Structure 1
């Protein structure tokens, strides 16, 4: 086992686009949840290879916990997951509920990487997407994180937002460049069911940029970040040299990992597993059984091969033919020669003797490429 994802499903505010497993933190049984989380981690580690190389605590909003609860969470992770093999330890945070006490706690417990949910730098746009922080909050907490000793900070940005223009996106990128984070994740808005934006869209009240403008925005993102020294190493991710997300690379390299917490997903012993989502259901299931899984899908060899390709091709370095052969004892070309030839001719895929990878055009039409490798 290479990684562990830990889900904290509590938020002080619900963003209008978010479809992750989350609840308002007020009046929630946070301490009972943390106790159940520890029990689930202990049980999971006792049954599996537990040499953890990366930890990622996400949500929800992990920093929505108060200082005492946050300290308890870090103690749990320290007791059971932090080991000599650990190479990266990331915690997601929102600018409005991260403070100096939590920053010092993270550093004292060995957190190496901070992921800040910024999304945009225009205060009006932040309000429009349901974010409670301001541009000033971002600058303030970023400076405090540097002062606390964090030298690996990632920020999230978004494009294709309601009423967002290319000029606004360029401004957000320019402002981000003044901060000089080591990593930037930038995502196009996806309107998902059971979100506020989805309900607005059904009523015709969500005004989004068209697909052409969204494509131009993505082109702007790539050119601006590459111009500023960031390597485009995955469709939505850019990093300074050596600061690629090790944990997320586990996903794209199709490695196995634990998923702990309500609603989390894992890949354990060749099974895709899903935990109970509702908080009370999760707590009761762990208290009764020590486990939280409500579904497990054994991944067939055919599915592993498909996943190896559509996950691996998200990386700009592509899928390495030698590694593919070592994992599956067959050549990619033996399975997908016609698909590869067609995609190369369409200008969406690049192939040489070592790898297959997306072209620049293929990055913009990634889903079309991925579908070619699915039955």
Structure 2
């Protein structure tokens, strides 16, 4: 049974230099009309795929908090009307510090949002400006304080490392500032240079100076060791939580479960088929009006691909992949299907087996992408 939904708000007040997500400047955009199209997609989706019981909802972007108070309230009411139920355990909204006012926090709280994912990235105002962020350190403190005062204590902070001009001292300061805010979840990941971004264009011109790979690796090692000492468990490659505050929604992805994807550019996985929505706003809205659904791509996932995804998504988690779960889903043991790559990776010291479970070793975690590649394209008997 499907238990999760992702909803995409593509609007932004400012486009960050590293971001390749589906986004658009909010100025003079048909925001209200877009939100109505999202409600239509929600209704049509739940009517078509009715074997669901929502446990987690995640609103991402773009910048959901770029919506006005009234728009945010209308949107969240629609989400609750169509998707909300008594089984909902986690309702997360991404928030940018400079746009998350006390009034918007009150709207979030009154509509049942019980978790915020705050895009902080760094605690140095000069570095934030360099990566295209428009908030400052004080905005972060204010947002976290206001959310706690409103009764939202389940918060996650995003931090980035490997940023242009970022030193080890700067990253240490960011990690320690995040810990001082006393939030129960931290997501941290290295900068990836993606096409169609400001940083990509600068890199192509040789104008983007990044930290050396060794320094980036040292930042990640510092992150892991420091958070562990402070009681945060690394439950996924880039995610750390006080026990009990792991992201229930993201675990749906890493457990290779199905989910709804609502909004422009959103992806969904239902009844064994992955679907991609139109990204451009006008195209998305037109398809909703004409067909009721905004799909521009549908892919029935074959068994071999499902098993690949089970491996490279599941191995992201600290607890790894259970062979019992694998066998229950696919009728085969992963130790038979992937015998050769598993043996090879265990010999390298990147994977380890504990009873029926396979997981990354400490040495394998930084090499995750190389490990995952070993499970793609394996010829099945």
| Fold similarity call, TM over 0.5 | yes
Which SS does the other structure have where 1:193 is aligned?
A: coil
The whole-number CA distance in structure 2 between the counterparts of 1:334 and 1:340 is 9
Question: Shift of residue 353 of structure 1?
Answer: 1.6
1:26 match: 27
The whole-number CA distance in structure 1 between the counterparts of 2:190 and 2:120 is 14
1:185 match: 187
Question: Shift of residue 321 of structure 1?
Answer: 1.2
Which SS does the other structure have where 1:296 is aligned?
A: strand
The whole-number CA distance in structure 2 between the counterparts of 1:32 and 1:83 is 25
1:50 match: 52
Residue 333 of structure 1: which of 332, 335, 343 is its match?
335
The whole-number CA distance in structure 2 between the counterparts of 1:205 and 1:66 is 37
2:80 match: 78
1:110 match: 112
Residue 294 of structure 2: which of 282, 287, 292 is its match?
292
What is the Cα-based RMSD across aligned positions, in Å? 0.7
What are the residue-to-residue correspondences of 1:350-365 with 2, within 5 Å?
Answer: 350-365=352-367
What does the per-residue CA deviation read over 1:341-360, in whole Å, with 9 as the maximum and x for residues that have no partner? 11111010011222000001
Which SS does the other structure have where 1:90 is aligned?
A: strand
What are the residue-to-residue correspondences of 1:56-67 with 2, within 5 Å?
Answer: 56-67=58-69
Question: Shift of residue 109 of structure 1?
Answer: 1.0
The whole-number CA distance in structure 1 between the counterparts of 2:340 and 2:33 is 54
Residue 203 of structure 2: which of 189, 201, 204 is its match?
201
1:15 match: 16
What does the per-residue CA deviation read over 1:59-112, in whole Å, with 9 as the maximum and x for residues that have no partner? 000000011111111111111011112111000000010011111111111111
What are the residue-to-residue correspondences of 1:95-174 with 2, within 5 Å?
Answer: 95-174=97-176
Question: Shift of residue 141 of structure 1?
Answer: 1.1
What does the per-residue CA deviation read over 1:108-152, in whole Å, with 9 as the maximum and x for residues that have no partner? 111111110000000000000000000001001110000000120
Which SS does the other structure have where 1:186 is aligned?
A: strand
Residue 346 of structure 1: which of 345, 348, 357 is its match?
348
Q: Is the 8 A contact 2:73 2:111 kept in 1?
A: no
Which SS does the other structure have where 2:54 is aligned?
A: coil
1:276 aligned onto 2:278: yes
Which SS does the other structure have where 1:243 is aligned?
A: coil
The whole-number CA distance in structure 1 between the counterparts of 2:123 and 2:356 is 41
2:259 match: 257
Which SS does the other structure have where 2:352 is aligned?
A: strand
Which SS does the other structure have where 1:327 is aligned?
A: helix
Which SS does the other structure have where 2:52 is aligned?
A: coil
- Segments ≥4 residues shifted beyond 4 Å: none
What are the residue-to-residue correspondences of 1:211-230 with 2, within 5 Å?
Answer: 211-230=213-232
Q: Is the 8 A contact 2:96 2:118 kept in 1?
A: yes
Question: Shift of residue 207 of structure 1?
Answer: 0.7
The whole-number CA distance in structure 2 between the counterparts of 1:327 and 1:112 is 32
Question: Shift of residue 50 of structure 1?
Answer: 2.9
The whole-number CA distance in structure 2 between the counterparts of 1:338 and 1:5 is 36
**TM-score where L is the length of structure 2:** 0.98
Q: Is the 8 A contact 2:7 2:263 kept in 1?
A: yes
The count of corresponding residues between Structure 1 and Structure 2 is 375
Structure 2 unmatched ranges of 5 or more? none
Which SS does the other structure have where 1:121 is aligned?
A: coil
Which SS does the other structure have where 2:119 is aligned?
A: strand
2:250 match: 248
The whole-number CA distance in structure 2 between the counterparts of 1:187 and 1:163 is 16
Structure 1 unmatched ranges of 5 or more? none
Worse-matched range after superposition: 287-296 or 256-265: 287-296
The whole-number CA distance in structure 1 between the counterparts of 2:338 and 2:355 is 15
2:306 match: 304
1:6 match: 7
**TM-score where L is the length of structure 1:** 0.99
